Amino acid sequence: DARVTQTPRHKVTEMGQEVTMRCQPILGHNTVFWYRQTMMQGLELLAYFRNRAPLDDSGMPKDRFSAEMPDATLATLKIQPSEPRDSAVYFCASGLGGGANSYEQYFGPGTRLTVT
C-alpha cells in the first residue's frame, strides 16, 4: 500500500528553536510538494520539487524556511528560527510529473506543529 509518510506527526517547540520535518514520497513519484494548512488560510503551497530540483518556493518565508531533497526518498522542510505564527499542520504530497495523471497529488498524514 503505497503512501506518503511524514515525521514527526506532532511537534511542540519553543519560539526561536529549529524545526525539521521529513517526508518520504511514494516510491517512483518524482514531484514533491510542501503545504501548510491553517484554519484562517486553508491549504497553501509552500514549495515543490521535481526530480529533486526546486521548481518554486515562492510560498515560503525565505528568511526562516528552507526546503531540500537530499535524495529521491527524502524531502525536508526546516524552520529556523520558529515563531508562534508558524503553528499549523504541514503536509507533504507527491505525484508523477509529466506522465498520465501527472497532476494528481497524494498527501501524507501531516506534521502538526505548535510553537509556544
Partner 1 sequence: EDQVTQSPEALRLQEGESSSLNCSYTVSGLRGLFWYRQDPGKGPEFLFTLYSAGEEKEKERLKATLTKKESFLHITAPKPEDSATYLCAVMGSWGKLQFGAGTQVVVTP
Q: Which positions touch partner 1 (CB under 8 A)?
A: 4, 33, 42-43, 45, 48, 55-56, 91, 93, 101, 103-110
Lookup: cell for 38: 491553517
Nearer to partner 1, 2 or 15 (CB): 2
Backbone φ and ψ for 84, nearest 5 degrees, come out as -55, -35
Nearer to partner 1, 54 or 81 (CB): 54
Nearer to partner 1, 15 or 43 (CB): 43
C-alpha 102/C-alpha 46 separation (Å) is: 20
Q: Which residue has the cell 520535518?
A: 21
